[in-house]
Each structure stands twice: as C-alpha cells, then as structure tokens.
C-alpha cells in the first residue's frame, strides 16, 4: 500500500487552515533569518494573567492530573453557567454545557454530531477559515452567502431567507466577526431571529469567542438575548483563548440543548476523553476571578485598532473602515490591483498582494479569498504599537515601488 492509499478520501475535500499556514510561513521566514512583521496572528500578544497561571499551578500541585468527566469538571461547568448568567443574562444547567479543547473542538464535534450527508450549513462570508472545511469533513455542504463591505460584512434577513432550503441544518453566526470585526446590533439580530423562527428545522451556531473585544459605541449582544424562542435549537460557542490570553491552554465550551450537548460529549468520550484537568482548573479561576485583565486588553486593542486603521488608510491603494470588534482589520486592496512590481509582475488578486507584501516588505498577512471575499487582506492588530508602525512603514515602502498602469 503506498502513502496516498492510506489517506481517507474525505480528507480530499478539506484544505489546511489558512491562518495556521500563514503563521507557519512567518515562522519559517524567521527561522531562515529574515526580519519579518507578522500580522497573521489571531491571539493576544501578552501573557496569560498571573492569577490564572497560579491557579493552573495550584491545580497541578493539588493533584488535578487525572481524567475528568468528558463534559468537563463540575467546577468549570458551574463557572461557565455563572458567567453566562452574569455577563449574557442566559441561564443554563450543567447538563447543557460541555467543555472542549478549544472552541474549534466544540464546533467540529457539533457538526460531527448533527450533520448527515448533504445537509447544508449557511455560512456568511467573510467567514472564519475553518467553518467550511469542518462542514465538508463531516459530510455537509457549506452554503456560502456573500456579505459585501457595503452591507457592513453582515448577513441580512433577506439574504438569510434566500439561503435557507429544506436541506438547511445550521446557520453560523460569528459576532464579533473574524476576519472583519463586524458586530451585529440588537435590531439586526432580531431581524435574523424573525427569519429563523419561520424555519423550525434550522439550528443556529453562534460563535462568540471575541465577545469582550468591542469598541466605540458597539455592544456585544447574543442572538438569544433578542430571540429567546430560539434557545432550544441554538448552540452558543465560546472560550477563553482570546478574552484571557489562553490560546495554548485549549479551553472552549458550548452551551445548548441537552440532547446535542450529550451527543458532543459522546464524541469527546471516543476522541480526546476530556480537556486537561489542570487547564480546567485555571479556566474556572479565569471565569470566577477578577475581570479587569479583560477590560485592560480591550482598551489596548482599541488603541491599536485606531493606529492600524489610520496608518493603513494613509497608504495609496489600501482602504479600511474602523472594525467594531475582534482584533482584525479587513482592508480592501482593490486599489492595488493592476499595479506592477519592479520585476514586471502584475498584482491581479489579493493573493498576489499578500505574496508581494511578504516577499517585498517582509510583512506576513492573509488574503481575503481565504475568508471567502476578495479583494481584501486581513491584518491582525494583536501585536504591539511598535510592530504596527514598523509593519505599516514596510507596507508603505513596498507599495511605493509599484508602478501604476
């Protein structure tokens, strides 16, 4: 048997995560001695707060080194339930909560637990890169709905209505959004909820991993706050990776109908068994302890957002609006298309622009086509002001060398 025969056919429908691939390129360039600026990273650049680390160490020292319940420890699920009630005004029992090795783990298992071959999943574009591939890997069909910049990169009620068919199993909502930073308002969510109420066989996955990072007048609201009647068919997904700078701790969770939570837990029993015990102890401390660290991070990201948008908009050919949330700028590079490099290569798509910025400017970014909408580039501002300025200087210098036709 040769190497290609051992790989399952179903893996042919999926591609590597674009964000992880971009980070790998950045790491490889560094390893080769290249000076680069990395605007790909989807994680806070500061350490996990000390009180959370201390709780993790204490958990280890007190013997939390064994298997836990597959759905998560009672302590952590109670902390999650308290958090959802306190911050989101949503009530859940422990049997309606499951803990996973990151929010991605929960989403993948939710699709595995619920999708039958041919089931459709409505995914607004721009989307987080992993949604379509996770649907495909589990036998579903991604139903991509374009949400252009003129619409604020948001799914409208009319577009949602057009996208739903008798095969629709899920609708995915992500607010604040990766990659655009779009945040849905109360009225926008109510309009979407009114559509969903007319389709009782459709379930909703609401990804709220960036909920604490909203800026200016924007406010995070959950769909269930505006349309509580959807609770019995909504899975709320969240985690601590972004809010508490805990990406490497791998803790995410889902809250939803007990039957679905039980099915996700079943899959965990046959795959990862459980999330790490000490990590769960640290996560409980993160949710139950002081939250000033989260507020401080949000203020820092807002200042960085303002700087990056100002600097990018000063570069001829790049345009972006202030994102309302998350820590990304989704900038249009339409003004750079058609320009020619010193080597005579024409920039014909956002992929070309991303390649040019990387090779000519040493700035690593991710093209908008990876998120389902071109011609854009995603820039992460989860990095220092110094790196933002250094990167924007490098982009401006590289772009200045392009010839217009």
46: pLDDT strictly greater than 70: yes
Residue pLDDT, tens place only, 260-294: 999 999 999 999 999 999 999 999 999 999 999 99
- pLDDT for 56 equals 98
Residue pLDDT, tens place only, 194-234: 999 999 999 999 999 999 999 999 999 999 999 999 999 99
105: pLDDT strictly greater than 60: yes
Contacts of 383 (CB under 8 A, 6+ apart): 38, 39, 41, 45, 304, 391
Average pLDDT over residues 312-334: 98
CATH code for the structural domain at 55-289: 3.40.640.10
243: pLDDT strictly greater than 80: yes
37: pLDDT strictly greater than 90: yes
What's the pTM?
Answer: 0.95
358, two tokens: 């990387």
- pLDDT for 25 equals 79
Which sign, positive or negative, has the C-alpha torsion 14, 19, 20, 22?
A: positive
- pLDDT for 4 equals 56
- pLDDT for 1 equals 45
- pLDDT for 6 equals 87
Strands 97-100 and 252-255: antiparallel
Which residue shows structure tokens 């057009």? 162
The CATH number, out of the four listed (2.40.10.480, 3.90.1150.10, 1.10.3720.10, 1.10.150.20), of the domain defined by the range 3-47+293-400: 3.90.1150.10
CATH 3.40.640.10 in the chain is located at: 55-289
Angle, alpha carbons 398-399-400 (nearest 5°):
90
Mean model confidence pLDDT for the chain: 96
Strands (E), 275-356: 328-332
CATH 3.90.1150.10 in the chain is located at: 3-47+293-400
């Amino acid at each position: 048997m040769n190497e290609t025969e051992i790989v399952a056919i179903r893996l042919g429908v999926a591609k590597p995560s674009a964000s992880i691939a971009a980070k790998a390129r950045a790491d490889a360039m560094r390893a080769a001695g290249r000076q680069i600026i990395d605007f790909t990273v989807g994680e806070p650049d500061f350490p996990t707060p000390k009180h959370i680390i201390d709780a993790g160490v204490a958990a280890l020292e007190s013997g939390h080194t064994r298997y836990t319940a597959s759905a998560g420890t009672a302590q952590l699920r109670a902390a999650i339930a308290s958090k959802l009630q306190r911050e989101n005004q949503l009530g859940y029992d422990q049997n309606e909560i499951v803990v996973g090795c990151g929010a991605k783990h929960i989403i993948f298992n939710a699709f595995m637990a619920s999708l039958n071959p041919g089931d459709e999943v409505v995914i607004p574009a721009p989307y987080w890169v992993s949604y379509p591939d996770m649907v495909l890997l589990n036998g579903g069909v991604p139903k991509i709905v374009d949400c252009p910049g003129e619409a604020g990169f948001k799914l409208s009620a009319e577009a949602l209505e057009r996208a739903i068919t008798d095969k629709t199993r899920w609708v995915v909502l992500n607010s604040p959004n990766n990659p655009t930073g779009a945040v849905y308002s109360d009225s926008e969510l109510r309009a979407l909820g009114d559509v969903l109420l007319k389709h009782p066989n459709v379930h909703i996955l609401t990804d709220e991993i960036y909920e604490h990072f909203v800026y200016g007048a924007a406010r995070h609201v959950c769909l269930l706050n505006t349309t509580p009647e959807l609770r019995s068919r909504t899975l709320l997904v969240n985690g601590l990776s972004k809010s508490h700078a805990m990406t490497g701790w791998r803790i995410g969770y889902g809250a939803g109908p007990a039957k679905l939570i039980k099915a996700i837990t079943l899959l965990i029993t046959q795959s990862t068994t459980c999330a790490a015990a000490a990590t769960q102890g640290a996560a409980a401390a993160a949710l139950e302890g002081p939250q000033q660290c989260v507020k401080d991070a949000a203020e820092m990201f807002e200042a960085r957002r303002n700087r990056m948008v100002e600097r990018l908009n000063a570069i001829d050919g790049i345009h972006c609006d202030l994102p309302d949330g998350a820590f990304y700028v989704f900038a249009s590079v339409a003004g750079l298309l058609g320009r020619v490099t010193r080597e005579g290569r024409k920039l014909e798509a956002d992929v070309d622009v991303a390649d040019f910025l990387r090779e000519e400017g040493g700035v690593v970014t991710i093209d908008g086509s990876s998120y389902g909408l071109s011609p854009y580039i995603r820039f992460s501002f989860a990095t220092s002001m110094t790196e933002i300025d250094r990167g924007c200087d490098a982009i401006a210098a590289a772009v200045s060398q392009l010839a217009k036709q």
